[in-house]
Chains A and B, each alone.
Chain A
């Protein structure tokens, strides 16, 4: 148990998350600029499926709830169950997103069609990539929870720290998603 190490690590990861916010900001700004550059093709109002995205949003939010619940207990079994649920919903989210992407591409609205679509796939795809990496990380953390003693789940323990970092990452992704569904889907669709 090392609280000092935990504090340093959490702060370091917090800074990384802030840097990731800047990364997404650049992609958001680019989306905002290129939103109307549809090269004569259909724009967001025609292509983006709002009900679908609503479901996606609920799925990611639910995943985040389970992630939080995983942090709210010190019982190994409950932690694993909560993480498994979070992972399940995370994978469903990815599946839905993959579905959306492949549908768009199949209909001839792939990322190479126009600047608007490039910026859409770039921004939303970057978020999806983060979720995918986070999902892999979640599996690894579950392995840590399973194999280490329960004492490591207590505050300051190594597994506890890993859970907190993962939680920070996961919640950060949900926060980015708030802006994606608000700006990319909701606002673009109402031009």
Chain B
């Protein structure tokens, strides 16, 4: 728990934050997109996860010296979060799609003229 650790963490986080904002700023500044939106999203998310790890390691001393129970519970939480969030997004997107697409054989409702 030395000051050096926190300062290193701070600097790394700063770099990663600037990278994220920088990439998006560059993407928005141009008329035509430099990279596909999917690649952009993946990059930003990846940078976020890297910064998460940086802060876990440098600020929260998470790592080889952590107790097994802290690591295991964190792993379980992360897995459940991933499943619930991904699952929810899949479900909701599926519902939305089914709502947007007419059922086979469905006739578009016509407004009454009476």
Within 61-100 of B, Cβ neighbours of A (below 8 Å) are at 67, 69-70, 73-74, 77, 80-81, 84-85, 88-89, 92
A189 touching B2, Cβ below 8 Å: no
B28 touching A22, Cβ below 8 Å: no
Q: Which residues of B contact A25 (CB under 8 A)?
A: 81, 84-85
Cα-based distance from A181 to B44 in the complex (angstroms) = 10
Write the chain B residue with the least CB distance to A22. B81
- Say what secondary structure dominates the interface of chain B: helix
The A/B interface has a contact count, at CB < 8 Å, of 108
The interface size of chain A toward B, counting residues with CB under 8 Å, comes to 40
Of B1, B5, B52, the contact of A175 (CB 8 Å cutoff):
B52
Interface string of A1-28 (1 = CB under 8 A from B): 0000000000100110010011001101
Of B40, B59, B89, the contact of A32 (CB 8 Å cutoff):
B89
Q: A186-B44, A190-B40 given as contacts; is B67 within 8 A of A11 (CB)?
A: yes
Expressed in whole angstroms, the minimum distance between the Cβ of B92 and any Cβ of chain A is: 5
Cα-based distance from A11 to B66 in the complex (angstroms) = 11
Within 160-191 of A, Cβ neighbours of B (below 8 Å) are at 167-168, 171, 174-175, 178-179, 181-183, 186-187, 189-191
Q: Which residues of B contact A171 (CB under 8 A)?
A: 55, 59-60
A71 touching B20, Cβ below 8 Å: no
Within 10-68 of A, Cβ neighbours of B (below 8 Å) are at 11, 14-15, 18, 21-22, 25-26, 28-29, 32-33, 50, 54, 57-58, 61-62, 64-65, 68
Would you give 26 A-B contacts (Cβ < 8 Å), ordered by A? A21-B81, A22-B81, A22-B84, A26-B84, A28-B85, A32-B89, A33-B92, A50-B21, A64-B59, A65-B7, A65-B10, A68-B5, A68-B9, A68-B59, A72-B1, A72-B3, A167-B59, A168-B60, A178-B52, A183-B48, A186-B24, A187-B44, A187-B45, A190-B27, A190-B28, A191-B37
| New A-B pairs, 10, CB < 8 Å, besides A61-B10, A61-B17, A73-B3 | A21-B77, A25-B85, A29-B85, A68-B6, A72-B5, A181-B20, A182-B44, A187-B41, A190-B24, A190-B27
Binding site for B on A (CB under 8 A): 11, 14-15, 18, 21-22, 25-26, 28-29, 32-33, 50, 54, 57-58, 61-62, 64-65, 68-69, 71-73, 167-168, 171, 174-175, 178-179, 181-183, 186-187, 189-191
